[in-house]
Structure 1
Amino acid sequence: MDTIKELGNISTLPITRFTANGAYLNLSNGTEVLLPKGYLLGDEKEGEEVAVFVYTDSEDRLVAITDRPVALVDEFAVMEVKEVTKFGAFMDWGLPKDLFVPMSEMGKPMKEGEQHLVMICVDFKTNRLIGVSKYQDFMLTDTTIFEEGQEVDGLVFESTDLGYKVLINQHYEGLLYENETFKDIAVGDNIKAYIKKRRDDGKLDLQLTPIGRQKYEEGAEKILNLLKVKRFLPLHDKSSPEEIKKTLGMSKKHFKQSIGQLYKSRKIEIKTDGIALVD
């Protein structure tokens, strides 16, 4: 059976007819797919186009719905494990029917309640959508498209002893080191990061703050904006790194260089017990 090109994607399809069960939509191959009655507003008409997600129901029949999953076919998302069986795991991907990850497609054993990075794929043997957590199979190692200092969008997908693994551009693996992360990070977070280093193994070292001078300019702006509200911050040279991290989300070194900029521009006064805004 040929794969339906709409399977796993958001498609805009025309309504061909109505039945007691809902509306039938026309697929690109000339066949129809049911949009169940519960997804209709009630004022639709034949010929009207509807944006739907097409997948298979619990009986492996094609069905269209107006809900959107957390990811489409050939995309990654972090998903929570709903149930584990001897055949595989069922993941919450935001739809009524959970996404199945076969045991053979698991990168490592899963437990209920855990979060894992999963790619949505078409199982060409059954023409169903499945999840694959062997993410390394999809990673690219030629990172020459990136430059050191470049800003990137990332998805935090795993916490390790070293720090946090981050998915970049759906196909590159990056790492945020725990000892360089000065704000709360959780698996599933979408973040902005900066390329710190391109490694020989094809992975990317990342950091949360801009490289070089821009980093301290942004830090200074953050401190200044907070001072405009509070007028005084009880942070100084003797403050602990933990206290600075909790208050400002930055390292002590970053804090000292940022307040140095503010002091030179005469925007703050440095006191023995903290920093104050200069009127």
Structure 2
Amino acid sequence: MQLGKTQTLKISDKNYSGWILKDESGEKAFLPKVFTSDEKEIDDDVEVFVYQDDGKLKATTEIPLAEVGEYAVMSCVQSLPSGAFMDWGIIKDLFIPYKQQKSKIIEGKRYLVYLYVDEALDLITGTTKFKRNPQYQDLPLQKGEKVDLIMMNESELGWNVVINKKYIGLIYASDVFKKLYPLSEEGGYIKDIREDGKIDVSLQPEGFENIDEFKQKILDKLDENYGLLYLSDKSSPEEIKAELQMSKKNFKKALGGLYKDKIVDISDDKIKLV
């Protein structure tokens, strides 16, 4: 049985309060009646998330905000001297012991939480303490791959981010072209996986193969401004960043493509739709 993971189990038995599910080794978990359906029979498969409650293995068909080994933004539903209970999207709240809190968790506020199994207690546990910019090996990520990001915090180098709920990376300040906020979600791209196992991320794709995205962004802005935009290839990086949230390098590539396609005219101080 994979504790803290979504998995497929077989229905072993049924009773008035729910179903008994089992894995291939015969280990069992209980699925409460509220999550069952009349369509399933004994030996049918059912996909569930397995957790613990009062020392017993239980299952739910609910989808948690995060599984063991993942990060998620969660709200605190109750804060006690011993720890905090977080809403993680299923019927049972997640407990974060006081010693696993980077700072005291306050009821009603949102926090970035990492899930792990406490080996001493064999319990699914949360923590707000995690290593910054860790080193990874054998990452299932590729340079240029589009990824989901959770913004962690801003540092001298840029923004620390969570990638696909599992990995911590960095967006350098030079690659930030829009206002960012802690705990917000953004789309991003793998910029580089370094030899030391650290991950660099960008908010924008790189290379001519992705230039259509930037061209469309310029066209959308032109449409908003009645076909006129007071930018050109002579504009400063700061002006381009403020208006279009992209780098001057990508702006010039996209603008050149639009001009070549005879979609825009370029003057010293403005762009016009043809």
Contact 1:140 1:172 in 2 (8 A): no
RMSD: 3.6
Q: Which residue number corresponds to residue 191 of structure 1?
A: 187
The letter for the 2-side match of 1:189 is E
Contact 1:194 1:211 in 2 (8 A): no
Contact 2:150 2:163 in 1 (8 A): no
Matches within 5 A, 1:88-107: 88-107=83-102
| Identity across the alignment (%) | 35
Q: Give the superposition deviation at 1:195.
A: 1.7
User: Which of 205, 216, 222 is 1:210 aligned to?
Assistant: 205
Q: Which residue number corresponds to residue 15 of structure 2?
A: 19
SS in 1 for 2:131: helix
Runs of 4+ in 1 over 6 A off after TM superposition: 143-147, 228-231, 238-243
CA distance in 1, matches of 2:164, 2:152: 16
The letter for the 2-side match of 1:41 is S
User: Which of 218, 222, 232 is 1:223 aligned to?
Assistant: 218
SS in 2 for 1:91: strand
Q: Deviations over 1:49-83 (max 9, x none)?
A: 211111112x3322111112122222333333333
User: Which of 67, 76, 82 is 1:72 aligned to?
Assistant: 67
Closer, same or farther: CA 150–206 of 1 in aligned 2, 3 Å: same
Q: Which residue number corresponds to residue 180 of structure 1?
A: 175
Q: Which residue number corresponds to residue 147 of structure 2?
A: 153
CA distance in 2, matches of 1:55, 1:248: 46
CA distance in 1, matches of 2:52, 2:225: 55
User: Which of 35, 44, 48 is 2:44 aligned to?
Assistant: 48
Q: What is the TM-score of this pair, normalised by structure 2?
A: 0.78
SS in 1 for 2:11: strand
Q: What are structure 1's unaligned runs of at least 5 residues?
A: none
Closer, same or farther: CA 117–138 of 1 in aligned 2, 3 Å: farther
Closer, same or farther: CA 160–81 of 1 in aligned 2, 3 Å: farther
Q: Give the superposition deviation at 1:245.
A: 4.5
Contact 2:11 2:42 in 1 (8 A): yes
SS in 2 for 1:182: coil
Closer, same or farther: CA 225–50 of 1 in aligned 2, 3 Å: same
CA distance in 1, matches of 2:69, 2:90: 17
CA distance in 1, matches of 2:97, 2:256: 56
Closer, same or farther: CA 145–273 of 1 in aligned 2, 3 Å: same
Q: Give the superposition deviation at 1:101.
A: 1.6
Closer, same or farther: CA 25–109 of 1 in aligned 2, 3 Å: same
User: Which of 110, 116, 121 is 1:114 aligned to?
Assistant: 110
Q: Deviations over 1:194-246 (max 9, x none)?
A: 3258486x534432223354565642343246657976133324988777546
Q: What are structure 2's unaligned runs of at least 5 residues?
A: none
CA distance in 2, matches of 1:144, 1:16: 37
Q: Give the superposition deviation at 1:41.
A: 2.2
Q: Which residue number corresponds to residue 32 of structure 1?
A: 28
Say whether residues 1:164 and 2:164 are aligned partners. no
Q: Which residue number corresponds to residue 134 of structure 1?
A: 129
Q: Deviations over 1:86-142 (max 9, x none)?
A: 222222211121111222333454344132141x22223333211133321993256
